[in-house]
Structure 1
Amino acid sequence: MKESLQRMRKFVIIHILLFMVAIVFSDAPWPYALLVVAQLVYIPVLLRMVCTERDWFWKYYPYVAIPAYTAVVLGQVVSTRWDGWIATLYLLFTVYIALYGITRFLRRGFTNVEEFAIDLGLVYLAMGGGWYVAFVAGIDLGFSPLLTWLTAIHFHYSAFILPIFIGWIGRLHRSILYRWAVAALLAAPMIVAVGITFSRWIEMFSVLFYIYGFCAIIWIVWQLSFASSLQKWLLRIAFSALAVTITFSMLYVLSNGFGLFSVTIDFMLRFHGVLNCVIFALVGAIGWSLDVPPSSFVPLTFPRSGIRGRQVAEKIGQVGGHRGLSDELSVYGVSSGSVSPLIIRFYEHTLDFRLYASTHWHRWFKPFAFLYSFISKRTQQINLPLYSDAVEMTGNIFTLDEGLDEREKVRVWERKVGEQTIFTALYSQHKTNERMYMNIALPLPYSTMTGILELQAVDEGLQLTSKRTDPASDTGVYLSFNNRDLFTLPLQETFFIQETEKGNLKATHEMWIFSIPFLTIDYSIVYKGADEKRG
């Protein structure tokens, strides 16, 4: 721990010295220091606190960071006709950071909103690098050089430093208020950029987003307990400064766009810029350096299938190894005393039933379903009809060749409509913390989508759902490209099956994306009867 602090201290000192060299030998106006200090001090120090894993990022970091920092210093102290090309070295560095942000996101997916805030901050920085190159190279983007430079500052402070700070706040606090505040603050940087380009009304709307997000975050910060009293007051001061800076932003928009006040860019640089640079960024960075809260994200470790794409068609073994999707439904805590015996029979003797399905794509999603159909017809996976007419789904249950899937008791249920394969799903099960889950894998090109469902008896029917009500639950829908990382998809599904008065079954399969319903499949499941059973 002591060695780590010493390395961090040396790291900070080196970057402060770089900044001092850039400023002392520069003849640029003083406001240029607002961007340079972010590039040479805040960004590397925050990266040191964010990127704690010794992986590929730090392995190749010197090869992109040293040229980038050199380019920033040279851009301040000398002027040549190659300035634009030299500045590109800094852009490449920010793209490298953005790639790391994307990698962090792909390791988790749509979960842990506080980590997503950090990921997006890392990605946004590349936009700041692009605007910086445009300013140095004198590229005409339709704005004055001053506005181009201010936009570069915007993406370094509001779009990089701020998301990282609010991400760390989220590691200490979780609430609906926090989630909405994060959504507003992460959307605002892009809305500001659009507003500057197209409309003062859009720009004002983005400032309103900031006001809401800042007010919520400031309130949360003042309620939180931190590692020490010093950290608590440093962060309270840092975040409270945002209340002042966003007020200046609103006055500037009203002045520039509507002429209601007289607020100049020089005034904004002296007060808004300095407050963000010194009070928010510097005091905030010092406060977080006292103790960075650990991430609450815990990678899921349940068994998953390694079958990809159409490999499954080549690796199916014999027919008849299994007659149902589960050998014994009681392992999920489901018994004939809690659900209809016919439902249990369906899962344990699936081939004794005929399935009729009616697919209903929600209106807003139909264009996406149409475009996806060109892919699904080739992959023969999730290849659902675009029409809602009832069709019979036929198929069979197969076993996999031994040793091809790390999960236990795997069986393949292939469903077809006519000659078209609709689903090829690999059913299994696993137990975590004494709770049994249905583990369903759908092989996709170069990847596998896995649905982890929890079973529960509801009104003599059976509900299977991927919705997570317990943070420790494995339920969810995931995508995997390797056997190490799981990408949590923004999908949820619920399958409810019950017995009808006629002694058959009906089921409803509903799916949501970002909690918005987009697909409903209604099933009519008919028991064939003893005389139609297969031997």
Structure 2
Amino acid sequence: MLVNLRKNLFSPVLLIGWVLIITCYLFSKQPDYLILLTFAQLVLVPAMLKMVVTFNKKGHVILIIMMLAVTLLHWLADSELAIYLAVVYVLYTAFIALHGLTRFLQRGFTNIAEISIDIGLIYIFIGGLWFFAYIAKIDTGFSPLITWLTAIHFHYSACLLAISIGLFGRIHKSKGYNIVVLTLLSGPLLVALGIAFSTIIEIVSVALYIGAIYWLFKLLMKTSLPRRQGFLLRISYGSLCLTILWSLLYAFGNFTGIILVSIPDMLTFHGLVNCLLFGLVGVIAWGLEVPKSTHQPFAFPVSRIRGKLHTIGDAHAGLVDALQNFVDTRKLPQVIPHFYEQTNCYRLIASVQWRAWFKPLAFIYHGISRWMQQLNLPLTSKQVEMDGVIVKVDERQDGRHSPRAWIRTIDEQTIFVAIYSQHTTAQTTYMNIALPLPFSTMIGILYVYEKDGELHITSSHGGDAGIYLAMKHYVFRLPLNEHFTICAKNETTLSAVHTMRIFGLPFLRIDYQIERKKDDHVRNC
């Protein structure tokens, strides 16, 4: 562990930060409280960054330039160079935020521990902007001290805490942890909004923040950790349980006019304890042993088609060659596998129902979808017939096994272009469906199972299942889920229900009546 500590806290780049912070502490003529933010800028944040981001030589050079700029500001804050040095710091924080965004685009809305780290990296950019506003003496509507306090808020309560709880999430898994993370990640913005616009918002956000901090400490106490690391983390998170009460007293004073804790008190106690006990002790704790990420990169095949599908081949019979490749069809009525294997033999009557809360968004989106001719669903719930054709797609163009496109229209207006394929991971075969979008492709990886004689197709399952967006070389999961339930009404008719959720909230339901065509010219039906 001590070897890890030397590597994580005393690497050559971080040694420069330590030397510079000592220099600022001993010789700076700036107010003493400014050292609290400088310590985060030169030591604490860079140390945490190096635990979660791999820097090349260019990255190390950027870190060193930032450290020198922050240090010089202790002597040049009132000179004409100050604003340029502050710009250097903002560019550095933008560089770090870009790393956070890149990390997120490699996964998307999955693995909340890693999302917490991503957001922590992005939050530092907001802190950088407030720091720039303080140095440049920009009128933010607040006093210079409040502007500086907002900057330090986004360095400690946002960046450092988000990365810390993300590292903790690599070890601890529970529903309670997920709630804690969502509360703490939204906390810095809510508190900042409260400070800016409403003391009521400030008090409520601080109260929620307090509950989440204490819950986090409770989860930590129940988690098995290496002895030294566990002891230090309990000090780090425990200090937050104490200092956050001062924030509540300060917010209460702003609301009632009864000053219980002043800003000088906050700087003396709240700021110093957070700096040393939460910040420094927490960084040392994680420096002893950095947990490895549990996220596994997505390895399923992804369609290479982007934008509109321009080249199509001959007609194809069905969405799949054999439904038994996905599920045991012996337990299903024969009409269900026949529909999937001979889809052109069926006609679809659909009723689209948008949830009331989502209708304004659906109305706005409708104009875009008509232009894209993709996901172009009607706004009315009136039953409409969807005409469809299935055609082959060139494997060399798509990149997946035996792709075929199901092109659905309503009154000759294209509403869906879905390119079906399949892949197998760990002996489970998934439907692999691509919906080409401008410069990207939406990917539905759907798990298929049978229950009580009904066929279920869902993205809400383990393994590869999910809805993703492929853009350039990034594949990231979207906060969407869908579920199909298909049942047989008789030997020639089926009913199907397609539901969709976003962030767990239902927003769309499509009811299908599927009937076998009776036209004499339809073959193999």
| Residue equivalent to 1:332 | 326
Report the AA paired with residue 262 of structure 1.
L
* Distance (Å, rounded) in 2 between the aligned partners of 1:324 and 1:6: 58
* Distance (Å, rounded) in 2 between the aligned partners of 1:233 and 1:6: 20
Which shows bigger deviation, 276-285 or 133-142?
133-142
Could you tell me how far 1:59 is from its partner in structure 2?
4.9
Could you tell me how far 1:197 is from its partner in structure 2?
0.8
Maintained 8 Å contact 1:184/1:212: no
* Distance (Å, rounded) in 2 between the aligned partners of 1:525 and 1:270: 71
Which shows bigger deviation, 298-307 or 248-257?
248-257
| Residue equivalent to 1:252 | 250
- One of 342, 345, 351 as aligned partner of 2:338: 345
Could you tell me how far 1:213 is from its partner in structure 2?
1.0
| Residue equivalent to 1:151 | 150
Report the AA paired with residue 134 of structure 2.
F
Could you tell me how far 1:60 is from its partner in structure 2?
3.3
Could you tell me how far 1:503 is from its partner in structure 2?
4.1
1:82 and 2:56 are equivalent in the alignment: no
Report the AA paired with residue 45 of structure 1.
A
Maintained 8 Å contact 2:304/2:399: yes
Please give the secondary structure, in 2, of the residue aligned with 1:316: coil
Report the AA paired with residue 43 of structure 1.
V
User: 1:152-171 alignment to 2 at 5 Å?
Assistant: 152-171=151-170
* Distance (Å, rounded) in 1 between the aligned partners of 2:402 and 2:34: 65
1:104 and 2:100 are equivalent in the alignment: no
Could you tell me how far 1:251 is from its partner in structure 2?
1.2
Maintained 8 Å contact 2:13/2:64: no
| Residue equivalent to 2:508 | 519
| Residue equivalent to 1:281 | 279
TM-score, with length taken from structure 2: 0.96
Maintained 8 Å contact 2:5/2:288: no
Maintained 8 Å contact 1:25/1:77: no
Maintained 8 Å contact 2:401/2:422: yes
Which shows bigger deviation, 94-103 or 16-25?
16-25
Maintained 8 Å contact 1:392/1:417: yes
Could you tell me how far 1:21 is from its partner in structure 2?
1.9
1:235 and 2:233 are equivalent in the alignment: yes
* Distance (Å, rounded) in 2 between the aligned partners of 1:503 and 1:326: 19
| Residue equivalent to 1:50 | 52
Maintained 8 Å contact 1:109/1:487: yes
Could you tell me how far 1:406 is from its partner in structure 2?
2.0
Could you tell me how far 1:529 is from its partner in structure 2?
3.6
Runs of 4+ with deviation above 6 angstroms: 1-4
Report the AA paired with residue 506 of structure 1.
S
- Superimposed CA distance per residue, residues 274-326 of structure 1 (whole angstroms, 9 cap, x where no aligned partner): 1100001001101110001000000120111101111x22x21122xx20111
| Residue equivalent to 1:494 | 483
* Distance (Å, rounded) in 2 between the aligned partners of 1:261 and 1:20: 35
The change in CA–CA distance for 1:167 and 1:453 in structure 2 (over 3 A counts) is: same
- One of 9, 12, 23 as aligned partner of 1:10: 12
1:317 and 2:322 are equivalent in the alignment: no
The change in CA–CA distance for 1:282 and 1:6 in structure 2 (over 3 A counts) is: closer
The change in CA–CA distance for 1:376 and 1:181 in structure 2 (over 3 A counts) is: same
1:370 and 2:363 are equivalent in the alignment: yes
- One of 399, 421, 427 as aligned partner of 2:414: 421
User: 1:170-249 alignment to 2 at 5 Å?
Assistant: 170-226=169-225, 228-249=226-247
The change in CA–CA distance for 1:130 and 1:262 in structure 2 (over 3 A counts) is: same
| Residue equivalent to 1:480 | 470
- Superimposed CA distance per residue, residues 106-145 of structure 1 (whole angstroms, 9 cap, x where no aligned partner): 1100001111111111111111111111111111111111
Could you tell me how far 1:42 is from its partner in structure 2?
0.8
Question: What CA RMSD, in Å, does the superposition of the two structures yield over aligned residues?
Answer: 1.8
* Distance (Å, rounded) in 2 between the aligned partners of 1:334 and 1:492: 24
Unaligned 5+ runs, structure 2: none
Maintained 8 Å contact 1:353/1:525: yes
- Superimposed CA distance per residue, residues 244-272 of structure 1 (whole angstroms, 9 cap, x where no aligned partner): 10111111112232134521111111111
- Superimposed CA distance per residue, residues 133-173 of structure 1 (whole angstroms, 9 cap, x where no aligned partner): 11111111111111111111101100110001100111111
TM-score, with length taken from structure 1: 0.94
Which shows bigger deviation, 157-166 or 326-335?
326-335
| Residue equivalent to 1:432 | 425
Number of residue pairs aligned between Structure 1 and Structure 2: 521
| Residue equivalent to 2:352 | 359
- Superimposed CA distance per residue, residues 87-119 of structure 1 (whole angstroms, 9 cap, x where no aligned partner): 111011111111111111111000011111111
* Distance (Å, rounded) in 1 between the aligned partners of 2:14 and 2:229: 19
* Distance (Å, rounded) in 1 between the aligned partners of 2:188 and 2:391: 52
* Distance (Å, rounded) in 1 between the aligned partners of 2:322 and 2:81: 72
* % same residue: 45
Could you tell me how far 1:62 is from its partner in structure 2?
4.0
